[in-house]
Amino acid sequence: MPNQYNRPITDEDYQRIAELHALGMGRNAIAREIGRAQRTVSVIAAELGLTFDTSMTEDATRARIAQLAALRADTALDLHLDALKLTQSMWEPAKVFNFGGKDNTFASREVEEPPAADKKALMTAAGIALEKSLKLVPPSDDAGAEDARSMLGQLMRGLKAAYEEAGGEEAEGESP
């Protein structure tokens, strides 16, 4: 294959690009066919007023973006679960150990829950996992808050109506 970078562009290149484009070939396929750089084919096609169908590329890009979003969501879930395991392990039996002495001996024993320093490390690790999870998939702004306010408002109106219906009198041991 001739060197695609050092050959001058010829009228034959223009004609061949126009022919291959008319056959429905894409830019990359034309570049391979005529031994030219993709950029060269794009420039010549633009000069000829030709465009390439990018719908397949756009569809592939949308699909890849969706795949990445799903992977981020999966990873965020895994990080949340890791944080849950780490915080739960703060209150579970653990084994503490030590290397020491002049003979560098190993000693271990079971304890009801990890020592405070280990709990601190577990909580730090859980916090980091949650922080990273929230960066991957931030919570939607104010998600469900308006629904909750609406539900609480309805509940309060209902309680007020029931109170007023009862004559506004407090039952013994109750308050409005």
For residue 171, pLDDT beyond 50? no
d(CA 87, CA 120): 10
Is the entire prediction scored with pTM above 0.85? no
Give the Cα separation of 14 and 55 in Å (integer): 24
Q: Sorting pLDDT into bands at 50, 70 and 90, what band is 4?
A: low
At 99-111, the pLDDT tens digits run 888 888 999 999 9
pLDDT tens digits, residue range 9-51?
999 999 999 999 999 999 999 999 999 999 999 999 999 999 9
CA distances from 84 to 33, 80, 109 (A): 57, 6, 25
**Average pLDDT value over all residues in the chain:** 86
